[in-house]
Structure 1
Amino acid sequence: MKLRYSCLLLCGHLVLCFPAIWMPAAAKAADEPSGQRPGCPSKCGEVDIPFPFGIGPQCAMQTFYDFKIDCLSSNGSSNKPFFRGAEVTKLSVSDGKASMNMNISTYCYDSSSGTTKTRGASADFSDSPYWISDKDNKVVVIGCQTLAYMQINFALTGCVLQCTEDFSPMNGVCSGAGCCELDFPNGTWYYNSYFNENYNNSQIWKTNPCSYMAVIETTAFNFNATYVNSTIFYDTYKGVTPLALDWIISMESCDEAKRNTTSYACISGNSKCVSEPKGGYRCMCNDGYEGNPYIKDGCKDIDECLDNTTYPCNGICKNTMGGFTCSCYPGSSMMDGGSIGLVVFVIAIASAWIIRERRKLQHIKQQYFRQHGGLLLFEEMKSQQGISFKIFSEEELQQATNKFNEQQILGRGGNGTVYKGLVKGNIEVAVKRCMTIDDKKKKEFGKEMLILSQINHKNIVKLLGCCLEVEVPMLVYEFIPNNTLFHLIHGNHGRQITLDTRLQIAHESAEALSYLHSCASPPIFHGDVKSSNILLDANLSAKVSDFGASILAPTDESQFVTLVQGTCGYLDPEYMRTCQLTDKSDVYSFGVVLLELLTCKKPINLFASEHEKSLSVRFLTAMNGNKLEEILDEQIKNDSNLGFLQEIAELAKQCLEMSGANRPSMKEIAGKLDTLRKVRQHPWEEQNLPELESLLGEHVMVNSQVMSSTRNFSIEENVIMGLKSGR
């Protein structure tokens, strides 16, 4: 630590000199060139190109990632830097940031042709050093009579904008009429935007000619009411919006990178390695130095004495390597009674300020607690004696998770981050920090938590409590130690998974969802059924997690409806069309989970050819062509299993019906899977498979006449398949 000696003059003659803690000087943001290899240009047009980036492969760092920048002339104008066709506007070494201009997605009615024209927008930073920053960007949708949604990695997010005749958008307010904002998920490299063509704006094109969707830097956007009824939004940004990115050298940790001395990038003296929360590492100059840590001798000492504004020194300043000292003028070191009184006065003021800030913080926590329905929750808990539900303080969860240490993270998702924690009594828990909560649902949050806490089923993860004294509530669940079904199926561990184990997991998961739909009061629709939300205990028993996510999301019809955060490949196409989440939405998603168990393939494969990206579409094509065996997992594909596999496949086919009314209920699905398990336990199963239909009952058997055309897909198919682009 560095010490600065501050000098304070009183009444023209009293001088007090005392040491104060001085924080290490941070390196300045690199607005100027940060260095390049000898002979390599450090600029393209007006943009600095610091190493490890370079114009052309010979000037860029040679690693697994592509640091090459193209310096091109566009339409006869001066040269500009580009990466994969996107204009680069800034590359910063000091903070690991970059900015690029990305296209705005448009949906406009053409009155001359009577058609609606769509211009899509996407970004793909796979196999590159870049990540799209979740902290610095947001998704913006502008327009009327439109459903816009975005595939972000494998998740979906979007919103519906309905404008009534008397709606009046307000400047700076993007939360309903004509505009909505959505948080950008963490740890993403890819997005693609879509508009639902069932929303027709041909009747309102004169007042609302276009709808727009874009990812934009938060600081670069302020909603203007004129954006809704004109093309000013598109014109203002000239068809592109600024996108903020983070970048890394590689996905190695600092410890791993340092062991490989030939590729370790932090080669400058006075530099250090920095681990990124999303994974990987980058380099920084040490405190008190600035420059480029990726170049030999690139980190230079900061002469703080030359910049009295940033590094004030009210005495004699002396520069040192990596810091500076600030000493008192000669004769100013005496301390008399008046000086001592001043010290006491300063301490008293500081103490009063600390007390005030603590009270202020406590007041804010109380406000959040009331806002989330904490008082109502307390009263309900008093009236229901013996309920095993706890309201945790923020401090308790800070201690349980080691201040939400990155090493405690169990997983990240579109709705939040889950940490492993240890609460009093050495009880292991999973703490979920949610990203956002709808304003309309905040008052009901406490009541809904009480409802969810009373769910008691052996195949559902138990909700133990919540924390309400923070801006976005945190949930505390029981800890399940054996990872997820997704990891079991797709973890590339080479483990044999028998058909009996798969049937057990499917049956137990179906029982859990059936309980939520039929036994919970009020009924609960999960809203995000997928293999990564099915946890497994030590015995591979299924535990459905993240139940109740739909309860915490908007479900009422209003001018502004934000879609439940879904996952590509699992999302019900009927829900995307109607924005109404039902029990049959969970059935569709469960059908996709059945496909994963049958095939060991992921629901979406962005690297596959166009007609093979979606597992559900590939499965339905195989079923209709009597080619089921071609996509079954080799581990379970044998003569003794084929009859059962056919039955499970037929059940999955029913679950994937385009119309929810034609899908079975989760209760019926659980009943059929239960019967299949029981039949497998008897030695005469092979000889009696023809009699299986009578055992299963007509309500849960496959009715081939119920199935509708599997090729009558509209744009909803594209949502599920992610066909328009791939990583």
Structure 2
Amino acid sequence: MGRPTETLIRLTAVKIIVILSAAFVVASATTNATVTVASQALPGCDEWCGDVRIPYPFGMREGCYLNNETFLLQCLSPAGSPNSLMPVLGPNIITNISIITGEIKLLNRVAQACHPPDTATDVFPDMVVGIPNYTISHTKNKFVVIGCDTFAIVSGNVVDGQSFQSGCLALCDNIGTVKDGACSGSGCCQLDLPSGLDSMVFEVASLTNHTNVSSFNPCGYAFVTERDSFNFSSKYIRNFPEKIVPVVLDWAISNDTCVTAKNKTNCVCGKNSTKVDLLDDPSRYRCQCLDGFEGNPYLPDGCQDIDECKDDNLNDCRFECVNTIGSYTCNCPEDFKGDGKRQGDGCTRNSKSFVQIIVGVTVGFTVLVIGSAWLYLGYKKWKFLKLKEKFFEKNGGLMLQQHLSQWQASTDHMVRIFTKEDLDKATNKYDDSAVVGKGGFGTVYKGVLDDGSVVAIKKSKLVDQSQTDQFINEVIVLSQINHRNVVKLLGCCLETEVPLLVYEFISNGTLYEYVHDKTNDRNSLSWEARLRIAAETAGVISYLHSSASTPIIHRDIKTTNILLDHNYTAKVSDFGASKLVPMDQTQLSTMVQGTLGYLDPEYLLTSELTEKSDVYSFGIVLLELITGKKAVSFEGPEAERNLAMYVMCAMKENRLEEVVEKGMATKANIEQIKEAAKLATTCLRIKGEERPSMKEVATDLEGLRGLNEANEKLESKGETMVGIWVQSDGALESTSKQFSASGSTNIVDDSMKVHILPLIHNGR
């Protein structure tokens, strides 16, 4: 009969019969929401055994499973792990159960044959495990044989009564010829399994008792295992370390379940579910939730409706989603029409312009007989307008229109909506010669409109939704402001891929460049110019806080956001981070946003935004004007890295003159600089309630400016100044003092809040 047959007769192999069952929990992102919707067990029944969920129809005690023995599990402590619990079906430990796929994963023994036999090795000859109504998954498992002188004979039964028989042979004469990952006969052999296999017997043995390979392959192995969990390695030839491997089984419910079930009401699928017959075994079926429902279809209450509107991944709505039983619908905003879906027709405006487009397209088709050229041009125009409409919606045009219609009804400052063609022409299609500034936000171009107006056009880089919201915020805030020291917003364009803002053109750059950029050719600003710029900036912020129709917190005051025009007049810009403050609120809870070095520490800790946050940022700007140093710098000594700490330390040690920018202080203005520094430190107090308001700061700076102008006149005429002293309790006290031409008389009294209003007398 041949040598293999003789060896098979003499074989001392392991026989293993495996009949598999239970259910495998699919641990993926797509089913997590379903698994955690509600309890998967019958009311009053245990749902967990250790870390494994036990869903109905499975159960662990009487009244908790579907019928007598098929779905009854035991919850035991495995040997060696007395403090842990695992579900057991027959002799096998279950690791996962799934009611979605009708699968179960359990652990099964590995058969082995060694020569000479190793009495210390666990071998289970003639081991039989019998579990009815379960089949071995032919799609998730494979039969594997490992060895260099090993074969296995496989046989089994299929649910339709047919038998199955096959074999697998693994050979090699040199371990060097065995390759990792390859299981095609050299050191490893594998077989696919037939559909509907409910039992399997396999015998593993050696052809020559490992005579020629015993030095590197003492044992051969055979087992059924999950496809995805096994990857062959050449080191398994010497020793396969696993004693048990995972196996996936299919389970289902017999059509006679209703006949044998003790609880007749639970023998069919629950509400909002359907019965699905198995193609390979019509005598059995599974239950499945209907589309739009989730849960356990085997429970009496069945599956529950999924609210697709709560998860953007479950619905395709662009605007409003309305949940319905088993599904959802999409609605368009008022004055829009369409199916409202992102992947469908979306929503289009019911506007006069849209009607004109449709009429234009209709006319184009009507005159098709006149010439294909006319049709082509009409189509190109329609496509261009649709693209602009798409950009308009993406750039927040709908939200912007809503806000502007609300705000501009009560103001004369109308924001103009520019077309794409207007700005293309103004910048010569954004030629490089029109660039006047670049940064992390994008590029600023200089443009000339048809009426001769010179404008600055801010073109952002590609933006995400959060930056689009910031852009719209800047338009809304600036539309509320009408102040000579604020960069005037002329309009915007929403018809391009990224939104564009159009401002009045400010010719002299930023305050940062004049204070910190030592490499340019600009003249350094005098103290008088710096004091005036500080007073103008403070006046703007005071206006935003106190005089705007709706109070505004700028939230990003810094020298790069203060521009200078041809007269070196301050112009505050960049309102992208600003917040409108409702009249009945003094603070806003918001995500912390600002620039390192200028950020209010109290705001950073509490996330409570108040007007005093702008006061702190302005205090840093005032110190920059006094010292010429940056708010935060890592270039110099460690003591000078934080400007606020550096200046306050110098003032405590009475050496302020050391930190004042070189060449700026004179005998005539040093006292004025010191008073400005004191004012800055009050703005930088840790507690916001201890800081002055911007109205007080602006008044104090104007007072310092007035004193400076008066002193200049007194120096030339030797005249007298009269001051009005306003005490902290609000009472007014008038006094007059004589001043020398040097202005050396000290008029500041630390015990009271002083506002000086200089009056020049002509000797009378």
Same fold, TM-score > 0.5, yes or no: no
Based on CA coordinates, which of the two structures has the bigger radius of gyration? 2
Length-normalised TM-score, structure 1: 0.44
Higher relative contact order (CA 8 A, sep 6+): 1
Q: What TM-score comes out, normalization by structure 2 length?
A: 0.42
